[in-house]
Structure 1
Amino acid sequence: MEILENAALVRRLLDVMENDILPLTETGVAEGNKVFGGALLRKSDLSLVMAQTNNETENPLWHGEVHLLKCFYEHPVSKQASTKDMIFLSTHEPCTMCMSAIAWAGFDNFFYFFSHEDSRDSFAIPHDLKMLKEVFGLEPGGYNHDNAFWKSRGLFEILATLPDAQAQPLLDQAKRIRDRYAALSEAYQSSKDDNAIPLN
């Protein structure tokens, strides 16, 4: 099923970030975890299948996306829903491990709000870009956003294609979401030395 990259999609993905992922992330950050999270939605009606957040204090591999997949496959819903029929939403552009996990799980897409550069510049978490550069020799944005496994899109790429009347309320909501994440980032940064996450 084709995913229509339009205002209705962006509105729904922003709503899921604001109402479903962010509350989980607020709890996660209070426990010492990073600000990353994700959600799965049905392509057919954009209904939420599951939302999750980073849980690296339990296991450094439980990035927001991988922890979401772990929880999905531990839940009965995974027996009833095919990943090919779902949208993968990531709050932040996935790292190389998470991109690979999304492919291995059979998703043909992912959408993200914050870019790798945002993670580095706004969240003081440069590991995604450093991994791309050091391990794969890729500059920012250097991976194939459309490939044999999935197609990826930043929400702001879609917003840039919309008429102003459709885009403005979504940009207002995006600003509200950015502000909440900025506060969470500050909380994480102020306490990260107290956790045992290897790449904090």
Structure 2
Amino acid sequence: MKPDNPTLIDRLLEVIEQNIVPKTRAGVEAGNKLFGAAILRKGDLSLVLAETNNELENPLWHGEMHALKRFYELPKDKRPDTADCIFLSTHEPCSLCLSAITWTGFDNFFYLFSHEDSRDAFAIPHDLKILKEVFRLDPGGYNAENAFWKSYSIPALGRKLPEPERSRVSEKIARLTETYAQLSEIYQESKAGNAIPLS
């Protein structure tokens, strides 16, 4: 299925809204960040699992990392090959998560919010700071299409759709943006004194 297929984009947004957001809401209320991820089967777009950030347990359990942890806890006979899966992230993965997605063999990932959104809309600038300080990369400086995977911004894919699909996707993204703005407020108000090193 092509990445700009309206059925795929609708399904990815549906998984964020119905499967990731509820877990993220509970996680944020406990003091974790608002990042989440899911893994779907390419063949029928069925959900393998959805997860959210769990940095209070372990600072490595970013939304993507926690999803991968849970993925590899599945029985081997019930765990699809990563080559047969779609990796979905609510936010553009940080350098840690980019590496983990690569090492686990996914050939793709899709994300809703960019690194700049994480910094500007959600007041979490660490992804861009690490990319700049450690890797000397400016925003967007990593290779979004390479020998390992291709990455896709869901809003960018949505803007390329013809009408009425473009407007429908835009409305869904606007609704999710408002949801995540509310989750961000909860996180920012509750993060003081938590045990997350980069909170």
TM-score, normalised with respect to structure 1: 0.97
Give the corresponding residue for 2:81.
Answer: 82
Give the corresponding residue for 2:176.
Answer: 177
Tell me which amino acid in the other structure corresponds to 1:175: A
How far off is 1:170 after superposition? 1.2
Give the corresponding residue for 1:141.
Answer: 140
Alignment check: 8 A CA contact 2:4 2:161 kept: no
SS in 2 for 1:88: strand
How far off is 1:135 after superposition? 0.5
SS in 2 for 1:193: coil
Give the corresponding residue for 1:190.
Answer: 189
1:157 and 2:156 aligned: yes
5 Å-filtered alignment, 1:24-173, equals: 24-76=23-75, 79-173=78-172
How far off is 1:164 after superposition? 2.5
What residue ranges of structure 1 are gaps of 5+ in the alignment? none
Alignment deviations for residues 35-84 of structure 1 (CA, whole Å, 9 cap, x no partner): 00000000001110000000000000000000000011011267541000
Alignment check: 8 A CA contact 2:3 2:157 kept: no
Consecutive aligned runs of 4 or more in structure 1 exceeding 3 Å deviation: 77-80
Alignment check: 8 A CA contact 2:71 2:79 kept: no
How far off is 1:5 after superposition? 2.3
For 1:148 and 1:103, how far apart are their aligned partners in 2?
10
Tell me which amino acid in the other structure corresponds to 1:171: S
How far off is 1:87 after superposition? 0.1
Tell me which amino acid in the other structure corresponds to 1:141: G
For 2:184 and 2:96, how far apart are their aligned partners in 1?
22
Alignment check: 8 A CA contact 1:72 1:78 kept: no
Tell me which amino acid in the other structure corresponds to 2:96: M
For 2:129 and 2:187, how far apart are their aligned partners in 1?
20
What residue ranges of structure 2 are gaps of 5+ in the alignment? none
Instruction: Tell me how large the CA RMSD over aligned residues is.
Output: 1.1
How far off is 1:169 after superposition? 1.0
Identity of aligned residues (%): 60
